[in-house]
Structures are given as C-alpha cells and as structure tokens.
A and B are shown apart, each in its own frame.
Chain A
Amino acid sequence: MVRVDGKGNTGALVQVRSLDKTYQRGSQEVHVLRGLNLDVERGEFVAFMGPSGSGKTTLLNLLGGLDLPSRGSITVDGDEITHLSGPKLAAWRARHVGFVFQMYNLLPVLTAFQNVELPLLLTRLGKADRRRHVEIALDLVGLSDRLDHYPRQLSGGQEQRVSIARAVVADPTFLLCDEPTGDLDRKSAGEVMALLERLSAEFGKTILMVTHDPRAAERAGTVLHLEKGELVEGQGGS
C-alpha cells in the first residue's frame, strides 16, 4: 500500500517524511519539493507523473541517494540515508538501488556484458560468479545472445534492456526508473514496460518510476502525481 499522508506503516520499505528540496537560482530560492511524505511497501510498483519542473526527477534523485534534501528524512529498509556521508552513500547505492535512465547511460566503450558487470565490480564476487550473475541478468531481459555487443550495435530498446539488466544484476532493494520509455518507440516502450512489470510481479521487485507517458504509468500498481512539489494520489493502472 502506498500512502502520501505520512501515516503509513512503520515497516514500509521506503519512508519519506516532511521532505523539502530548495534550490538557489541566482538570488531566488526555488522550492521544488514541499513537506513531501511517502510510504511504499515492499514489492510495490509506483509511477510518479507530473508536468515538467514538478520535482519528479528531484524526488527520484533524493530517493536514490544522489542528492541531499534541504529538510526531512528518507528511510529505506530501516536505514536513514539522509545523513549518510559520501562514501557510505555510494556503498548504500551500490547495495540497495538499481537505476534505469531515460537515455540508458551505458558506457559506450564496454560491451553489454561488461556494462552489466559494472555494479558487480563493487562486490566481493569472483570472476566466475560475476559472469554467472551477468548471464542470468541478460537472459532475464532476453539478450543472452548480445553479450559481446557494444551499445552502438544495439537498438534503443535493447540498450534499455541492457540497462535494466545492469540495474537488477546485483539484486538491489529497489529500482528507480527515470522516464525509462522516454526515448523509445511505442513497440520498444511496450517491451521495456512489460519487462518492468514482470520484475515487479514475478520477482517482487519494488519499482519507483518517473514517467510522462500515461501508457507506461498505467502498468504501475499506483500512480502518484506531483504538483507544485506536493504528492497527490492518482489511479493505479493494472
């Protein structure tokens, strides 16, 4: 169950309380998020929608430990991340978060296999174990025959699927997806969304996704709208 009133279950996987984010733009102070509350249970698939500049990506960045809030707290799986220092936050990200970006953000000099292997380089897994994990992840996204392909040799949809394999390969606590279908044609977008749906339904992955695309949003269990820095509950898709 997803709640935005700050009265959620204390055992919720993600707990956001009174979250504020303010940017300084010249002499002007811009409030991007205002006193935001959010509770997300394990296994939920949540879509955040809202107009440009409503703070969707900012919220995702804060939830992923890429940025720090001006006020408030974020607790994930019992760990409050808002006070973690740089190296600890990096280690936390490596362990708990899988990121999927709009532009895929694969490293062009590495093959699909090597890109997916990246998060595992930060673990203590040996070479053979890393290989096994990568092969499983690429098989999961249907690209086990593209191991040695470079990003330039893949279609946009395939690149995004490699990026999803990279996001799940280390079995993170939750996935953060920023406009995962934003750069894809309808067919590829459908495939990517089907994959995310499967990860949520079959593997119980918790997924928080920012999107502009209503078709993508309706695949999520819960849709939340961000308006002027505040969250409003919407209609779930499936």
Chain B
Amino acid sequence: MKYFRLVWSNLLRKKTRTTLTIGSFAVALFLFGLLVTIQTAFNQGVEVAGVDRLVVRNKISLIMPLPLSYEEQMLQIPGVKAVTFATWFGGYYQDPKNFFPQFAIQKETWLKMYPEFQVPKDEWSAFLADREACIVGRKTAQKYGIKVGDRIPIVASIWGGVWEFNVRGIYTGARTEDDTTQLWFRWDYLDERRQWGKGTVGWYVVRVENPDDAMAVAKAIDERFANSSWETKTDTERAFAAGFVKQMGNIKLLILVIGGVVFFTLLLVTGNTLAMSVRERTGELAVLKTLGFTDVAVLWLVLGESLLYSAQGGILGLAAVKLFTLHGDPTGGFLPLFYLPPSKMVLGLLVALATGAAAGVIPAVLAMRLRIVDALRRV
C-alpha cells in the first residue's frame, strides 16, 4: 500500500495520455458490457425456461396456428400433466414504437403453468370476471404509467382495429430475470372478436409428469398429430427458446469476435502506452533499483500502473453500461430483459484487469530486467 502513491504519481505524469488510456479501457468495457447485456437479453428465455415444460407449435412455422381441439387430445397422452395455450396478438400501445408482447391466454390454466408469475388473488379474480380484462407486467406498467383500473387501447396489427382492455392486475416475477413486460388478456375475448382464425391457438405449453420423460412425451405428441392437417413440432421450452435465439444468428460468436477484436486492439494500445512510459522512465527505474528496490518490486510497480489503468477504465465503462441499461430496453420491446447482471459486471472487471495485466506484463518484465549501470548511463 505504501507504494500506491508512487504508482499513482506515475499515472498523473502525463494526464492526457492517462486520460486517453483509461478512456480506451472505458470504451472497450462499455462495449463489452453492452454486448454481454444483449447476449443476456437474448438468452434470458433459455436461462429461465422450465425444465418440465414443452412448447408445441405448428410444424410449418410458429406463425401458423393449431386447433383448439388439441388441448383435450394432448391431455390424453401419457406423461402429460397439464396443458395451456396462448396466441400472439402483436399490437402496440398508442404508438408503434410502444411495443411489448401481448398474449391472448387460456385463463383457467395459464398461471398454473407459470407459477413464477405472481398476481394478487383479488386482481386475478377481477381478471376472470371481466371479458375485456388484461393483466400487465410490472415493467411495462411502470414504463407507461399503467395502473389497475385503467382502460388502455392496443392497436392490433394482426387482427385489425383498436382493442381496449381494462387493466385488472399487475403481475410480477418471482426472479429478477423473469419477463415482466408482457400483457395478457383472455383468449375467449380474442376468439369472439376476431374475424378469422377462430377456434385456433398460437401454441400450446405442456407440463410433463417427469422432466426425464420430456423428450419421449414430445415425440408422442408429434406422433399423435402426424399426417394431420395441423402437424406439430414439440420442443422443450429451453430448446424452443434457444431456437428462437438462434434465429437471430449466432449472437455468442458475434459477441466473442467483436469483443476479441476490441480487446486485442486495447491490449496493443495499452501495451504500447506502457512501453512508451517505461522507456521514458528508464533512468528513474534505474534510480529506484539503485536505492534498493528489487527487480520484482519494479516489475510490480509497472504492472500496478497497468492494473490501475484497467481498473479505472473498467469501472467507468461498466458504470456507464449500468446507467445505460437502467433506462430499460432501448429497442422498444425487442429485448424485454435488457439489464446487466451483477455477475457479468464482476466478469467485466476481471476481464479488464486481465487485459491490463496482459498489456503490462512485457513492459514490466523489461523494467525488471533493466541493468542499472546501462540505464544510468543513458540518463
């Protein structure tokens, strides 16, 4: 700790250079944090997917419906414990940029299927009692200032017209990562009001008796409806969510490539800055050694500088991402769970420190190996 002032003083030697170096770290870590946030947002569905839930959709495409009659038939299949269904509404609230997911749900079975979503009992009863009722997720309610008792208009881009709903409740998630941006309303209301597609649902969600049998049950469901007009494709919820992410391309690879390029560039920039700084201070380092500082102490002094650069830049960059994500999804609903988890912040800081150490190691070793008499001769 008593050497800290010495290391710190060296950082203040050339303030512009130090600011730019810390700035480059901050920008890189901001980018890293942002990419990780996006990746987390994409993968959140996969992370929180229930292990005992299957998603049954039309084999041709997710946008093709399935008949309502399948509910009863699926309940007959051995291993199936419960079934619910939903239909994508695809509307927006007041303005096209105010997008959040709206589902027409099976009101009797939905909450039993998703115990992670919590709605106060009285609010749920009010929802069941009102045909035009809806339940709004906490995040969306906060974002648009929606309260219980409001009557809100949703412009239906698929079904046409403006649909008005009475907000009867606000749901919350049991975990931070649970999606609370959705709006649910009653499927029977949708089916009654829509002009086409009556008697169909978007997809089914099936709870299996035993998660170990999930694949067998999925196979049985698809076999049951094989060669029908509405063939099915059944996946575990996790596989379904992962497949959805895959449609967006290989996000992980993209993040790794961009992140890798940024960090490699950063490594070169910081390494060069440090090497320049060490070269400029050859005489001073030799003086320190003359006074009795060991080679290893000098190595740590230089490495300490690099770590200080990276720690400050890292904290700045990650703090900026955190602030940025506090405003929530910047895409208008495409990434509902847009936040930087604390674990990723720690990871970011570790990455910054590792980058700092990697950038500093060569200049530090050069400083360590410096021969006093040679260096003093150059002063």
Contacts and interface: CB of A to CB of B under 8 A. Distances in A.
Interface of A: 61, 64, 66-67, 86-87, 90-91, 93-95, 99, 101, 103, 105, 107-110, 114, 118-119, 121-122, 127, 166
B296 interface: yes
Interface stretch (B5-13, B38-46, B47-55): B5-13
Contacts of B237: none
A81 to B, nearest CB: 13
Interface in B67-110: none
Contacts of A121: 2-3, 6
A105 B373 contact: no
Contacts of B372: 61, 66-67
A225 to B, nearest CB: 23
A119 B6 contact: no
Interface string B354-379: 00000000000000000011001001
24 contacts: A61-B373, A64-B290, A66-B373, A86-B295, A87-B294, A87-B295, A87-B296, A90-B289, A93-B292, A94-B291, A94-B293, A99-B290, A99-B291, A101-B287, A101-B379, A103-B379, A105-B284, A107-B9, A107-B288, A108-B284, A109-B10, A118-B288, A121-B2, A121-B6
Given A87-B296, A93-B292, 16 more contacts: A86-B294, A87-B294, A90-B294, A91-B292, A94-B291, A94-B292, A99-B291, A101-B287, A101-B376, A105-B283, A105-B287, A109-B9, A109-B13, A114-B6, A119-B292, A166-B291
A90 B295 contact: yes
Interface string B1-24: 011011001101100000000000
B9 A110 contact: yes
Contacts of B379: 101, 103, 105
Contacts of B2: 121, 127
* Residue among B291, B292, B293, B373 with most chain A CB within 10 A: B292
Contacts of B376: 66, 101
A122 B273 CA distance: 28
A87 to B, nearest CB: 5
A10 B295 CA distance: 33
Contacts of A118: 6, 288, 291
Contacts of B295: 86-87, 90
Contacts of B291: 93-94, 99, 118-119, 122, 166
A61 B373 CA distance: 7
Contacts of B5: 114
Nearest to A105: B287
Of the listed residues B283, B284, B291, B379, the one surrounded by the most CB atoms of chain A closer than 10 A to its CB is: B291
B73 to A, nearest CB: 79
A91 B379 CA distance: 23
Contacts of A107: 9, 284, 287-288
Nearest to A125: B2
Nearest to B290: A99
Contacts of A91: 292, 294
Contacts of B284: 105, 107-108
B208 to A, nearest CB: 66
Nearest to A87: B294
Nearest to B284: A107
A127 B2 CA distance: 9
A66 B377 CA distance: 12
A101 B284 CA distance: 12
B144 to A, nearest CB: 54
Nearest to B8: A109
B9 A95 contact: no
Contacts of B293: 90, 94, 122
Nearest to A110: B9
Nearest to B371: A67
A109 B285 CA distance: 13
Contact of B292 (A67, A90, A105): A90
